[in-house]
């Protein structure tokens, strides 16, 4: 759909669409020369929409409950506006990226496909239901956190709960890791790094009087510090081994590297801030806190400088529905706000690169 619409928008304009070699992704280049990139994520979530709105998801169990449909619409409109300009001082590459919600993120596939080749800087934004429409939050430094996944599988000979000394008590071993690993990690990293391990799922056995033979524990490990993120796996593996050694259970730890923090450099953030000011005027630009959530935009910033913004989508009256909820809605006025911000950010960055 994106490629078809762009062929209509840019029929008489020197744009070069290129479909990435994986499902539902693409990039479009507007105008000429080297320049900067604007990125939007496109994927939905395995969530049932409960908004009751006329444009609710028509696919059962799938919904855009994180605003990615808005991001795509905004970038489409920004591309159309940039392409209609009589002349641009450089190229603006539009990246429509799938699989942001699937760790380690579709950004890695996009980068491998070459979307950053010739790109000087990259910019993006994300809906924020905590900010009212008409405001955009920016931040120098980390604006999101790194997020990794832990999957721990334990094995035991099993047995009767009346004779735990004759087997390996798997449930007790799970409890040992659940309670102690977060504490161990918190003592091995700088407490100012915002590092936190939280378990999301645990399962073992069915009967009250049987020691189970298998168990699984799932969780996320997040940190606000890029340097801490780089060494987390090397801290977790020996910690798990030492905690489980006295229990006698077998284990397999699958540590899945997720996404790095999105770290906005000062110069790119200045271009983004100038774009917000030009687009929205006084009162549009605001600061934002670092989120503990992950965002695969961070992978782009491992290769090129850039900045990321929080787009206010709250109507200022109703409840502030959180992201990843089936009831999440946004004020559609934010679509125009986001479009203007993306256009003026691109122009600000292109002008700055010529100075």
Cα distance between residue 257 and residue 268, in whole Å: 27
Domain spanning 2-143+261-354 has what CATH number?
3.40.630.10
- Indicate where the chain has its CATH 3.40.630.10 domain(s): 2-143+261-354
Q: Which residues are annotated as a binding site for Mn(2+)?
A: 66, 68, 101, 126, 324
Q: Is residue 208 scored above 80 in pLDDT?
A: yes
pLDDT of residue 77: 94
Cα distance between residue 118 and residue 225, in whole Å: 28
Which region among 28-37, 282-291, 304-313 has the lowest average model confidence (pLDDT)?
28-37
Q: What is the mean pLDDT of residues 144-153?
A: 96
Q: With beta carbons less than 8 A apart as the criterion, state whether 209 and 168 touch.
A: no
pLDDT of residue 251: 98
pTM of the model: 0.87
pLDDT of residue 33: 46
pLDDT in tens, 104-115: 888 999 999 899
pLDDT in tens, 214-236: 999 999 999 999 999 999 999 99
Q: What is the mean pLDDT of residues 69-81?
A: 93
Q: Is residue 31 scored above 80 in pLDDT?
A: no
Q: What is the mean pLDDT of residues 262-281?
A: 97
Q: Is residue 353 scored above 80 in pLDDT?
A: no
Q: Is residue 9 scored above 50 in pLDDT?
A: yes
Cα distance between residue 288 and residue 270, in whole Å: 15
Structure letter (DSSP) for residue 45: B
- Indicate where the chain has its CATH 3.30.70.360 domain(s): 146-259
- Name the most confidently modeled range: 15-24, 53-62, 90-99, 259-268: 259-268
Average pLDDT of the residues of the chain: 90
Q: Which residues are annotated as a binding site?
A: 66, 68, 101, 126, 324
pLDDT in tens, 152-192: 999 999 999 999 999 999 999 999 999 999 999 999 999 99
Which region among 155-164, 285-294, 317-326 has the lowest average model confidence (pLDDT)?
317-326
Residue 14 pLDDT level (bands cut at 50, 70, 90): low
Cβ atoms within 10 Å, residue 27: 23
Domain 146-259 fold: Alpha-Beta Plaits (3.30.70)
pLDDT of residue 79: 92
pLDDT in tens, 124-144: 999 999 999 999 999 999 999
Percent of the chain with pLDDT over 90: 72
Q: What is the mean pLDDT of residues 301-320?
A: 95
What is the three-class DSSP state of 47? coil
Q: With beta carbons less than 8 A apart as the criterion, state whether 48 and 106 touch.
A: no
């Amino acid at each position: 759909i994106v490629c078809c619409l762009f062929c209509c928008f840019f029929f008489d304009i020197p744009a070069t669409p290129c479909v990435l070699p994986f499902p539902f992704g693409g990039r479009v280049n507007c105008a000429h020369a080297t320049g900067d990139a604007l990125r939007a994520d496109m994927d939905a979530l395995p969530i049932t929409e409960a908004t009751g709105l006329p444009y609710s998801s028509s696919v059962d169990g799938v919904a855009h409950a994180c605003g990615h449909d808005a991001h795509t619409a905004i970038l489409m409109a920004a591309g159309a506006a940039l392409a209609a300009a009589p002349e641009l001082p450089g190229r603006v590459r539009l990246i429509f990226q799938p699989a942001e919600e699937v760790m380690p993120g579709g950004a890695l596939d996009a980068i491998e496909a070459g979307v950053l080749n010739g790109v000087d800087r990259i910019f993006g934004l994300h809906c924020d239901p905590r900010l009212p429409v008409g405001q955009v939050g920016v931040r120098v430094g980390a604006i999101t956190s790194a997020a990794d996944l832990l999957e721990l599988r334990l094995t035991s000979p099993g047995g009767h709960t009346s004779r735990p000394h004759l087997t390996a008590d798997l449930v007790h071993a799970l409890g040992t890791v659940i309670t102690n690993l977060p504490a161990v990690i918190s003592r091995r990293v700088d407490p100012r790094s915002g590092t936190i391990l939280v378990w999301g799922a645990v399962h073992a056995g069915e009967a009250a009087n049987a020691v189970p033979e298998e168990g699984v524990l799932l969780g996320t490990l997040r940190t606000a510090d890029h340097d801490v993120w780089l060494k987390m796996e090397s801290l977790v593996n020996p910690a798990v081994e030492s905690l489980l050694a006295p229990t006698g259970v077998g284990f397999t730890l699958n540590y899945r590297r997720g996404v790095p923090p999105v770290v906005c450099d000062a110069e790119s953030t200045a271009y983004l801030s100038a774009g917000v000011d030009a687009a929205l005027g006084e009162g549009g630009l605001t600061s934002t806190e670092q989120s503990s959530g992950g965002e695969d935009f961070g992978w782009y910033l491992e290769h090129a400088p850039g900045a990321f913004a929080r787009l206010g989508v709250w109507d200022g009256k109703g409840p502030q529905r959180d992201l990843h909820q089936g009831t999440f809605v946004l004020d559609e006025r934010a679509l125009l706000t986001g479009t203007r911000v993306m256009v003026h950010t691109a122009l600000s960055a292109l002008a700055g690169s010529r100075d």
